[in-house]
């Protein structure tokens, strides 16, 4: 096989985070009898992405991210409530939102059956990601689970991947591939760490000029050919 270990991002690669986020936010807003429509749901999504990008750059930490996204949203829509309590309720709902993306289960099963080690490498919350992975049943195919809250660093920082290298068996970097939907976190992070990268780009988005993945796929099943099981 061309690779001994495949590291998957979770949200936007294996699981549909956008759907989980939308449902969790809508249910929490409804619990408070606050306004809940497509406009506010879409605006939260925009704000959340902005602060996750800030996290990748090291400009905010997880606590600041959680607070600032609601602070901005609530300010724009005139919502008054305790942010910490709202976020607690939101997170509890989010961890139950486990929705597989197309062919995620199939490719993990096939790679596992072909004796390729699998891991997930996520910037998400530890309790949320582990719960969602186990709920959907992907954990039975995984050899490793790496989440930034436990590691203490986020992708794309080299320290995140150095932690992974310390935990895995003696696998050469050239035999490790990072698969993810984020150019700035997954692909740049993988390149910073000196491993092979594969950009999962199901919607055919334009790439960022200075970030070049080794491979690009639209369907997770395309990994069959890349790893040599076709």
Q: According to the 3-state scheme, what is the secondary structure of the chain?
A: CCCCEEEECCECCCECHHHHHHHHHHHHHHHCCCCCCHHHHHHHHHHHHHHHHHHHCCCCCHHHHHHHHHHHHHHHHCCCCCHHHHHHHHHHHHCCCCCECCCHHHHHHHHHHCCCEEEEEECCCHHHHHHHHHHHCHHHHCCEEEEHHHHCCCCCCHHHHHHHHHHCCCCCHHHEEEEECCHHHHHHHHHHHCCEEEEECCCCCCCCCCCCCCEEECCHHHHHHHHCCC
Task: Provide the pLDDT for residue 106.
Answer: 98
Decide if 27 is catalytic. no
- Angstrom distance (rounded) from CA 186 to CA 10: 10
15 has pLDDT over 80 = yes
Domain 5-16+99-227 identical in fold to domain 17-94: no
Which phi-psi region, left, alpha or beta, contains residue 103 (left: φ > 0; alpha: ψ -120 to 50)? Answer: left
Tokens of 134: 């186990």
Binned at pLDDT 50, 70 and 90, residue 1 comes out as: low
CATH fold of 5-16+99-227: Rossmann fold (3.40.50)
136 has pLDDT over 90 = yes
- Angstrom distance (rounded) from CA 117 to CA 111: 8
Task: Provide the pLDDT for residue 200.
Answer: 98
The predicted-structure confidence for 19-69, as pLDDT tens digits, reads as follows 999 999 999 999 999 989 999 999 999 999 999 999 988 899 989 999 999
* CATH of region 17-94, choose from 3.20.20.70, 3.30.930.10, 3.40.640.10, 1.10.150.240: 1.10.150.240
Mean pLDDT calculated for residue range 75-83: 94
Q: What is the mean pLDDT of the chain?
A: 95
169 or 98: which leads in pLDDT: 98
Annotated catalytic residue, options 4, 9, 11, 181: 9
Binned at pLDDT 50, 70 and 90, residue 170 comes out as: confident
Task: Provide the pLDDT for residue 208.
Answer: 79
Task: Provide the pLDDT for residue 169.
Answer: 79
Is-contact 175 227, C-beta < 8 A? no
Name the residue ranges covered by the structural domains of the chain: 5-16+99-227, 17-94
Is-contact 121 7, C-beta < 8 A? yes
105 has pLDDT over 90 = yes
């Amino acid at each position: 096989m061309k690779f001994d270990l495949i590291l998957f991002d979770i949200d936007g690669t294996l699981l549909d985070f956008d759907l989980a986020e939308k449902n969790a936010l809508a249910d929490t807003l409804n619990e408070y009898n606050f306004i809940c429509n497509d406009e506010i749901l879409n605006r939260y999504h925009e704000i959340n992405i902005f602060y996750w990008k800030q996290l990748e750059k090291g400009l905010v930490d997880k606590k600041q991210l959680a607070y600032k996204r609601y602070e901005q949203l609530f300010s724009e829509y005139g919502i008054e409530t305790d942010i910490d309590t709202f976020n607690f309720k939101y997170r509890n709902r989010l961890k139950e939102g486990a929705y597989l993306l197309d062919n995620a289960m199939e490719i993990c099963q096939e790679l596992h059956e072909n004796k390729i080690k699998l891991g997930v490498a996520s910037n998400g919350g530890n309790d949320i990601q582990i719960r969602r992975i186990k709920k959907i049943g992907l954990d039975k195919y995984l050899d490793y689970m790496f989440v930034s809250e436990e590691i203490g660093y986020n992708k794309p920082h080299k320290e995140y991947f150095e932690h992974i290298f310390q935990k895995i068996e003696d696998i050469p970097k050239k035999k490790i591939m990072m698969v993810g939907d984020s150019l700035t976190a997954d692909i740049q992070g993988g390149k910073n760490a000196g491993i092979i990268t594969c950009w999962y780009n199901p919607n055919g988005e334009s790439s960022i000029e200075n970030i070049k993945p080794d491979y690009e796929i639209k369907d997770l099943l395309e990994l069959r050919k890349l790893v040599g099981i076709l």
